[in-house]
Amino acid sequence: MSIKRYGVGGSKGTGGQSLPFAKAVEAGGWLYVSGQTPMKDGEVVEGGIIEQSRLAIQNCVDIMESAGYTLADVVHVKVFLTDARYFQSFNKVFSEFFSAHPPARVCCVADLVVDCKVEVDLTCYNAERVK
């Protein structure tokens, strides 16, 4: 089994710092997408939980799709919110993406190392990609 890493090098975090991890790693038909925050070009996009949730999920989806996976391949999602009061609003956005193929999920409240309201990561599986 081979391991393929996506988005190694060149990724920038807040303040322009280089990020020391891959955007995603694929092995044996599995794709693990690193946690994504509501960032564009290394900067957190301002906005409420709805806007930030939509961008964090879309960032995951963009990475997943660039690796050749689809929303139907998502088997598990981890969500980190900075406030439990965001839960219902986050669920509305989550449903926009995953209502057709609901994955398993965990959602918890945590402090984040980036000044934003949400972080999301995905795990995908596609048997046709097993090598």
Output the tens digit of pLDDT for each of the chain's 131 residues. Answer: 789 998 887 666 666 666 677 899 999 999 999 999 999 888 899 899 999 999 999 999 999 999 999 999 999 999 999 999 999 999 999 999 999 999 999 999 999 988 999 999 999 999 998 87
Question: What integer pLDDT is reported at residue 10 of this predicted model?
Answer: 64
Q: How far is CA 129 from the centre of its chain?
A: 20
Stated pTM of the model: 0.92
Burial letters 79-92, b for 16+ CB under 10 A, else e: bbbbeeebeebbee
Whole-number Å distance between alpha carbons of 45 and 30? 30
The vertex-21 CA angle with 15 and 26, nearest 5°, equals 140
Whole-number Å distance between alpha carbons of 22 and 55? 19
Nearest to 118 by CA among 53, 47, 51: 53
Catalytic residues: 107
Question: What integer pLDDT is reported at residue 17 of this predicted model?
Answer: 66
